[in-house]
Amino acid sequence: MPNQIAVVTGAGAGIGRATVRMLASYGFDIALLGRNEQRLQDAADELAANAIRTLILPVDVSDARAVSDAAERVERELGPITVWINAAGVAAIGPVLSLDAETLRRVTDVTYLGSVFGTQAALACMRRRGSGTIVNLGLAHPLRGLPLQAAINGAHAAISAFCDSVRPEIRALSDRIDLTIVHLPSINTPRLGWSRNRSGHALKPSGRIYEPEVAAHAICQAVLGHHRDIWVGATSILPSLINGIAPSLRDRYLARKAITSQYASGKAESDTDSLSESLPGAYAAHGPYEGIPLHETGRKPLLLTMPRRIGSGAMLLSLCGGALGWLLLRHRK
């Protein structure tokens, strides 16, 4: 049986780079898409010893025609695409009034439209055979609605809404094509250092930080299974419950705590960023922060699919209800 063919955007660094390595360990042949050809070549060179076929395609994912042409070239040179992973994105961080129209448009073009164009190109190829898996990236609940992150939050919310509309279209055509969103917490990649910073402060990731292999593992679970959504980390359960029950409570908490929690000590970093052009340098998967590894004390971080998420949420809600009832009884006594 020939190897399956995977396409990964943003493959030169960060989550895309880690995903390429993990897919190669499963025996996939891989097309690597991204803006920085040297980093794509470095990623491909890592796989050379494993007899993995690779194809390097320098592409800006905000260019729909370039993405479509890249998909056709993969089909010609590597073979039928069975997996497509949209891991490319850029970010701008700061108060919404500090973000000009060009900045907002660029974040939307790369992060949202890049995922849309990748999904369209993948569907056009996969529909010829009626099967395949497409994976887009989303934000776990602890990062949703985070102040200073309006641009990236808006792009990821749009990705979720886009996928919600496309899934029934796929089902109506009776295709066996999975469209999965992997909802990620903060990941230790170089990306924060590349983001356009309009906060006036040096920045750090928010909340618990995970190493990029954790994200890659979740993406591979989406590839190997049939899932609608995958959430990484149990910490996404409580914020989603609070947001569903009392959203204003979470708003007040974020207003008090979440802005300063993103500030690091020291001066703001360099004003250079990767929005317009890829920054030079030998970056790979990992960033400068310390994150939770894939294997922590012998266990992998919790991945929640929809049934497990509902069960965990119901259990947590029941515990909260029991605690509230106990407090009320004590108060009456």
**Where is 92: in which H helix or E strand?**
strand 92-93
- Say if CB 64 and CB 122 are below 8 A apart: no
Among 70, 184, 102, smallest CA distance to 137 is for 184
Q: Can you tell me the distance from the alpha carbon of 170 to that of 162, in angstroms, rounded to the nearest whole number?
A: 13
The reported pLDDT for the residue numbered 90 is 97
**Where is 325: in which H helix or E strand?**
helix 306-332
Q: Can you tell me the distance from the alpha carbon of 96 to that of 268, in angstroms, rounded to the nearest whole number?
A: 18
Q: Can you tell me the distance from the alpha carbon of 264 to that of 287, in angstroms, rounded to the nearest whole number?
A: 15
The reported pLDDT for the residue numbered 265 is 86
Alpha helix (H) ranges present in 93-246?
101-107, 114-126, 150-172, 191-194, 212-224, 237-245
pTM for the predicted model, two decimal places: 0.88
How far lies 225's CA from each of 43, 108, 222, in Å?
Answer: 25, 29, 5
The reported pLDDT for the residue numbered 235 is 65
The reported pLDDT for the residue numbered 332 is 53
Among 84, 198, 189, 183, smallest CA distance to 148 is for 198
**Per-residue pLDDT in tens (0 to 9) along the chain, 333 residues:** 467 999 999 999 999 999 999 999 999 999 999 999 999 999 999 998 788 999 999 999 999 999 999 999 999 999 999 999 999 999 999 999 999 999 999 999 999 999 999 999 999 999 999 999 999 999 998 899 999 999 999 999 999 999 999 999 999 999 999 999 999 999 999 999 999 999 999 999 999 999 999 999 999 999 999 999 999 976 656 566 666 677 788 888 889 999 999 999 877 766 789 999 998 888 999 999 999 898 865 556 667 765 444 444 444 444 444 444 444 455 455
Close Cβ partners of 121 (under 8 Å, ≥ 6 residues apart): 67, 68, 70, 71, 84
The reported pLDDT for the residue numbered 326 is 45
The reported pLDDT for the residue numbered 323 is 44
Burial class (CB in 10 A: 0-12, 13-18, 19+), 326: exposed
3-state secondary structure of 295: coil
Render the burial of 85-112: b for 16+ CB within 10 Å, e for the rest.
Answer: bbbbbbbbbbeeeebeeebbebbbbbbb
The reported pLDDT for the residue numbered 162 is 98
Among 33, 27, 150, smallest CA distance to 87 is for 33
Q: Can you tell me the distance from the alpha carbon of 16 to that of 53, in angstroms, rounded to the nearest whole number?
A: 17
The reported pLDDT for the residue numbered 300 is 63
The reported pLDDT for the residue numbered 295 is 80
Burial class (CB in 10 A: 0-12, 13-18, 19+), 43: buried
The reported pLDDT for the residue numbered 270 is 67
The reported pLDDT for the residue numbered 49 is 79
